[in-house]
């Protein structure tokens, strides 16, 4: 009887081993991330133009750091495709956030607006990560859709604000790229809210769906 049980255990171990070996391997998608980063990075670095070289170097180092981190995550989670792809989206959104907020910070540096924008950004960043479960529940649970309504109104507001900013820039003297920098920041603020949701585990998402 013991020999039979040991034989069954060996078969189970072999089956589990085969399942792991045959598990779907996640596509690293580093090329896609690098391409998206490159497009946004160049636009971000050139605002304002006189700081292009400095910020191109900074943004390039940031991009390489993110790509290296994603590769390490792929090594760890390549057989857990859902987890890896979630981190992939999170990294992509937070990278866009970094590139999106730097132009307005560069333009307002050495002014009181710089500190206000920086404080709002850090507050939003910390709050969104602390409240990530509440953000997830707004997307997956039909009983909690307030955040989706807010985001929808926010996107409409960005379009209106973009038109207004463009109009006032034409009739008033303003810093170069100010309008684009403001829109970049507004889009980044939305991504700051959305990105932490992708760090929530699959099990927690399923639990929040039923709450």
What does the DSSP assignment read for 111-165? Answer: SHHHHHHHHHHHHHHHHHHHTHHHHHHHHH-TT--HHHHHHHHHHHHHHHHHHHH
Non-local CB neighbours of 71 within 8 Å, separated by 6+ positions: 28, 30
At residue 128, the pLDDT reads 84
Residue 97 contacts residue 184 (beta carbons within 8 Å): no
What does the DSSP assignment read for 29-52? Answer: -HHHHHHHHHHHHHHHHTSSGGGH
- Using alpha carbons only, how large is the chain's radius of gyration in Å? 23
User: CA 117, CA 105: separation in Å to the nearest integer?
Assistant: 7
Q: Mark 173-193 as b/e (b = at least 16 C-beta within 10 Å).
A: eeeebbbbbbbbbbbbbbbbb
pLDDT tens for each residue of the chain, 211 residues long: 444 344 434 444 444 444 344 457 878 888 888 888 888 888 888 877 777 888 888 888 988 998 898 899 888 888 888 888 888 889 888 988 998 888 888 888 877 878 888 888 898 888 888 888 887 777 766 666 666 666 667 666 666 666 666 666 555 555 566 777 888 888 888 888 888 888 887 777 777 666 6
pTM of the predicted model as reported, rounded to 2 decimal places = 0.73
At residue 194, the pLDDT reads 84
Cβ count near 107 (within 10 Å): 21
Residue 67 host element (H or E):
helix 52-77
DSSP classification of residue 99: H
At residue 168, the pLDDT reads 60
Non-local CB neighbours of 192 within 8 Å, separated by 6+ positions: 97, 121, 124, 125, 128
């Amino acid at each position: 009887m013991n020999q039979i049980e040991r034989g069954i255990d060996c078969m189970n171990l072999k089956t589990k081993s085969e399942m792991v070996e045959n598990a779907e391997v996640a596509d690293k998608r580093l090329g896609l991330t690098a391409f998206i980063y490159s497009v946004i990075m160049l636009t971000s670095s050139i605002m304002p133009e006189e700081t292009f070289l400095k910020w191109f170097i900074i943004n390039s180092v940031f991009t390489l750091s993110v790509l290296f981190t994603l590769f390490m995550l792929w090594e760890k989670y390549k057989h857990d495709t859902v987890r890896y792809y979630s981190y992939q989206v999170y990294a992509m959104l937070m990278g866009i956030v970094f590139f999106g907020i730097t132009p307005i910070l560069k333009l307002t540096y050495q002014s009181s607006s710089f500190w206000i924008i920086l404080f709002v950004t850090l507050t939003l960043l910390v709050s969104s990560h602390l409240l990530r479960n509440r953000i997830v529940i707004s997307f997956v649970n039909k009983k909690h859709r307030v955040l989706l309504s807010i985001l929808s109104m926010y996107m409409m507001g960005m379009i209106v604000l973009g038109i207004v900013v463009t109009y006032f820039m034409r009739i008033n003297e303003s810093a170069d790229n100010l309008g684009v920098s403001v829109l970049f920041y507004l889009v980044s603020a939305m991504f700051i809210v959305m990105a932490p949701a992708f760090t929530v585990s699959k099990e927690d998402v399923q639990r929040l769906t039923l709450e």
